Amino acid sequence: MISKNTIDTVFETARVEEVIGDFVNLKKSGTNYKGLSPFSNERSPSFMVSPVKQIWKDFSSGKGGNSVAFLMEHEHFSYPEAIRYLAKKYNIEIEETEQSEEQKEQANEKESMYLVSEFAQKYFQNILLNTDEGQAIGYSYFKERGFTADTIKKFGLGYSPEEWDAFSKEALGKAYKLYYLDKTGFTIVREDGRHIDRFRGRVMFPIQSMSGRVLGFGGRILGNDKKAAKYLNSPESDIYHKSKVLYGIYHAKQEIAKKDNCYLVEGYTDVIQMHQAGIENVVASSGTALTPDQIRLINRLTKNITVLFDGDAAGLRASIRGIDLILEEGMNVKVCTFPDGDDPDSFARKTSYDELVAYLDANAKDFIQFKASLLMDEAKNDPVKKAGLIRDMVSSIAKIPDKIQREVYIQECARIMDISEQVLASTLAQLISKDIADTGRKMKDEQRANAMRPVPEEEYFDPSMPPDQQQERINILDGLERRMIEILLLYGGTEQEFEDVYIKYDEFGKEFEHSEKKNYKVYDRIYLNLQEDEIQFTNPVFKDIYKAAIDHYMAHQEMNVDVFLNGLHPDLQYMATDIFMQDEKYILHDWEEKKQIPVKDKAMSIAAYTNEHIIDLRWLLLGRLIQDLKMQVSPDADNMEILMSVNDYNTLVNYLSRKINRLRSSFF
C-alpha cells in the first residue's frame, strides 16, 4: 500500500496542465488551457484546464476533477495506478506500507493484467538480448531491418522462444496466476488442462497505451511454417481493444502535438523505421482497417493527418476507404505515396532525414487530388466509370462537416474533373439531404422508444401531486440547492458585511424592524441560517457536498480546491468540479464577446447574492416542512402541537416573504 506521505507529495508536485498535456493538445486561453474533449466526439473545444485551481472540466461529458481523476477516467487507472504513474512522471520515490494477504487478494483485476503484460515485455526483451536463440534469430532479424540497439530498447522489442511453454513456465515460476496469463492471451489453456504459449518463435512488438502501459503484443513469425499466420496479435481483453489502439502513440504523442500533424502508416516496422530516421510523429493502425476510435485518438493531439501509402495500387484502393472516416471526424487529410517497390520502412531506411522531410512535404497531396489521380487511371476514357468516380469523390466531400470546406473542395473537384460546379453542388446537396433524412428517421425511432419507457415511481416528488407539478417543484428546489452549493464552494471563505434584521417592539407593543451590520465568513452565514431552521438539503449529492464543504471550512477557514476534491468520493468530484469551473465555461464559449451576454460578477455583491439565496432556500424548504406536518394531522388525534408548529412556521414564511417582497409560492 502506498504511504500517505507519498500521496501528499504526488499531489503537491503534479501539475494538472502537464499531466493532461501528455494526452490532450491544450492551447492557452487566458489563464487557462482549452482543448478537445478526450471523452466525447466533438469538433469545438469544451475541455478546460485551470492551472490556478489545479483542476479540469469536460463540459461535453460532465466529467472533471484533479490530475488523478483524469488518469482514472482517461487511462482507466485505479487510484493506486494513477498515483504510481504520477510518482514515476515526477521522479518521486514511492514509500510502501505492508499489505495483508487479504489486501493482496483484492488487487484490481485490470492491474494484474497490466502487470502480466509488463512482465511479458521484460521477459521477451531479456530473451532477445541475453540468450543464444534470441540473439541468433530475433536480434539478427531486427539488425537486418536496420534497427539500432537504442531503437530496440526504446520500443521494447523482444523475442519469444520456440519452446512450447517457455514463457508460461517462467511466469508461473514468478507467481503470476494462470488465470491472468489466460485472460491476457499469453497462455492457451487446453481442455485437458495442459497449457502452451500463444507466441512461439516470433519477434515481439509491445503495443502501448498513450500513457505507456503495455496493452498487448504483435508477434511476427520468422520460420517457414506456411500454416502459421505471419503476424499474430494478442486477443481482445479487458485492457486490449485493437480498434481503439494505435501502435507508436506513446512515443509519438508529443511530436504530433508539437508538429500539429500525424503521419499514419500500416505496420510496426514502418513506425519504428520512420521514428529512427527522425520522423517521430508517426503511428500505425496495427494491421487493422482504420477505425473511428483510432482517428479520435489522433484528434486529441492534432486536426491534421497525412496518410502514407506504399506504391501498391491494389492496396491503395482498399485503404482509401479510411480517408472518408477521417473526413467524417472533421479532420484535414493529405495522402503521400512512395515510389513503386517502396513502403515507409524501406524508403526511410535508405533516405537521409533532410531528404525524407523534403519528400514528404513535396509529395503530400490533398485527398481530392490524390483520389482523382488514383481513380482516373481506372476510368480512362470510359464515361460511365468517370461518372462513378465523380460520384465517389462527391460522396467523400459530403462527409466533411464544415460547409465552407465542402464548397472549396467542390470547386477543386470541378476543376480537376472538368465538370460543372453546379452539377457537383446539386449532387452534394442530394447526398447531404439524404443523410439528414436518415438521421431524422433514426432520432424519431429513438424518441418513440423512449416515449414508451415507464417513469419509475421514485422519480416523483409527492405522490399526491400531478406529475408535471411534481417535476416543476423538484427542478426549483434542486436549482436553489445547487446555487447554494455554488456560493459555498466559490465564496465560502470570503468575509463579507451582512445585515441582520430583527423584529422588535416599542413601548406601545408595536412591531418594528431593527437592523445591525456585522462581518461574517460566507460559509458561517450559510451554516448558521440553515441550522436555525434545522433544515437539510433534499438532493443527496448536494447534501454530501454541503457537509464536506462545511467540514473543510471548519478545518481550513478557506477553500483549498485540491485538498477538498481529494477528500471527495469520485461521484461527488464531478459536481464539485463543475461548480469550480463554471466561470471557465463562460470564457470557453465566449458568451460576453460572441453572444453579447454579460457574465455577472458575483464577487462584486457576494453578501447580497448569498442573503437572497439563503432566504429563497429557507422559504422553499420551510414550505415543504409545513406540508409534511399537515400530512401528519389526524381527525382521531390531538393535533394541537402540530398545528402550533405549522402556525409558527407560517409566521416565519410570511416574514421571509416580506423580506423578498413576494407572496408565498403555490407549491406550499
| CA geometry: angle 218, 249, 76, nearest 5 deg | 90
| Dist. CA 196–CA 169, nearest whole Å | 9
612 — pLDDT class (breaks 50, 70, 90) = confident
Cβ–Cβ under 8 Å, residues 575 and 543: no
Beta bridge mates, 495: 521
Q: How high is the pLDDT of residue 106?
A: 52
Q: How high is the pLDDT of residue 252?
A: 92
Q: Which of 64, 84, 66, 72 is nearest to 17 (CA)?
A: 66
Cβ–Cβ under 8 Å, residues 398 and 391: no
Q: How high is the pLDDT of residue 187?
A: 95
**Element (DSSP H or E) covering residue 345:** helix 344-349
Average pLDDT over residues 476-493: 84
- Grid cell digits, residue 17: 496542465
Q: What is the dihedral of CA 234, 237, 238, 239, to 10 degrees?
A: 10
Beta bridge mates, 58: 47
Q: Which of 10, 24, 11, 85 is nearest to 54 (CA)?
A: 11
Average pLDDT over residues 32-48: 84
Average pLDDT over residues 256-271: 91
Encode pLDDT of 632-649 as tens digits.
777 766 666 667 666 666
- Grid cell digits, residue 543: 447534501
CA distance between the termini of the chain: 53
Looking at mean pLDDT, say which of 208-217, 399-408, 587-596, 602-611 comes out highest: 208-217
| Dist. CA 53–CA 577, nearest whole Å | 10
447 — pLDDT class (breaks 50, 70, 90) = very low
Encode pLDDT of 62-78 as tens digits.
788 889 888 888 877 77
**Element (DSSP H or E) covering residue 587:** helix 582-588
Cβ–Cβ under 8 Å, residues 668 and 650: no
Global model pTM greater than 0.75: no
- Grid cell digits, residue 298: 489522433
CA atoms lying within 13 Å on the CB side of residue 399: 20
| Dist. CA 136–CA 132, nearest whole Å | 6
Structural fold of domain 249-424: Dna Topoisomerase Vi A Subunit; Chain: A, domain 2 (3.40.1360)
| Dist. CA 276–CA 294, nearest whole Å | 23
| Dist. CA 391–CA 432, nearest whole Å | 13
| Dist. CA 474–CA 459, nearest whole Å | 9
Percent of the chain clearing pLDDT 90 (strictly above): 27
Encode pLDDT of 546-598 as tens digits.
888 888 887 788 888 878 888 887 778 878 888 888 765 554 444 444 444 34
- In CATH, 108-240 is 3.30.70.3040: no
Class in CATH terms, 4-89: alpha beta
| Dist. CA 1–CA 3, nearest whole Å | 6
Query: Which amino acid type is present at position 320?
Result: I
By the 10 Å C-beta count (0-12 exposed, 13-18 middle, 19+ buried), 455 is classed as exposed
Q: What is the dihedral of CA 158, 161, 162, 168, to 10 degrees?
A: -110
| Dist. CA 416–CA 400, nearest whole Å | 19
Phi, psi dihedral angles at 197 (to 5 degrees): -75, 140
**Helices 383-398 & 367-379, crossing angle to 10 degrees?**
160
- Grid cell digits, residue 421: 460546379
Query: Which amino acid type is present at position 460?
Result: Y
- Span of 33-42, 212-221, 430-439 with lowest mean pLDDT: 430-439
| Dist. CA 333–CA 660, nearest whole Å | 59
Q: 105-121 as b/e, with b when 16 or more CB fall inside 10 Å?
A: eeeeebebbbbbbebbb
DSSP 459: G
Looking at mean pLDDT, say which of 236-250, 410-424, 592-606 comes out highest: 236-250
The alpha carbons of the chain give a radius of gyration, in whole angstroms, of 32
Domain borders along the chain are 4-89, 108-240, 249-424, 467-659
Cβ–Cβ under 8 Å, residues 194 and 135: no
Cβ–Cβ under 8 Å, residues 24 and 60: no
| Dist. CA 520–CA 118, nearest whole Å | 56
Q: Which of 217, 400, 136 is nearest to 413 (CA)?
A: 400
Average pLDDT over residues 336-348: 89
387 — pLDDT class (breaks 50, 70, 90) = confident
| Dist. CA 394–CA 419, nearest whole Å | 12
Higher pLDDT, 477 or 343: 343
| Dist. CA 140–CA 134, nearest whole Å | 8
Q: How far is CA 217 from CA 51, 155, 160, 201, 232, in A?
A: 37, 12, 11, 14, 8
Q: How far is CA 156 from the centre of its chain?
A: 27
| Dist. CA 649–CA 663, nearest whole Å | 15
| Dist. CA 116–CA 114, nearest whole Å | 5
Cβ–Cβ under 8 Å, residues 142 and 158: no
Cβ–Cβ under 8 Å, residues 304 and 330: no
Count CB neighbours of 454 within 10 A. Answer: 5
State how beta strands 332-337 and 47-50 pair.
unpaired
Cβ–Cβ under 8 Å, residues 522 and 611: no
**Helices 540-556 & 467-491, crossing angle to 10 degrees?**
10
358 — pLDDT class (breaks 50, 70, 90) = very high
DSSP 263: E
CB proximity list for 272: less than 8 A, separation 6 or greater: 145, 147, 151, 155, 248
Q: How high is the pLDDT of residue 193?
A: 79
Encode pLDDT of 203-226 as tens digits.
999 999 988 899 999 999 987 777
Encode pLDDT of 176-208 as tens digits.
999 999 999 999 998 887 899 999 999 999 999
| Dist. CA 201–CA 195, nearest whole Å | 17
Average pLDDT over residues 613-624: 72
CA atoms lying within 13 Å on the CB side of residue 665: 20
Q: How high is the pLDDT of residue 315?
A: 58
Average pLDDT over residues 442-446: 54
Q: How far is CA 466 from the centre of its chain?
A: 40
Higher pLDDT, 374 or 593: 374
Phi, psi dihedral angles at 245 (to 5 degrees): -125, 145
Higher pLDDT, 463 or 423: 423
Q: How high is the pLDDT of residue 375?
A: 67
State the chain's mean pLDDT as an integer: 80
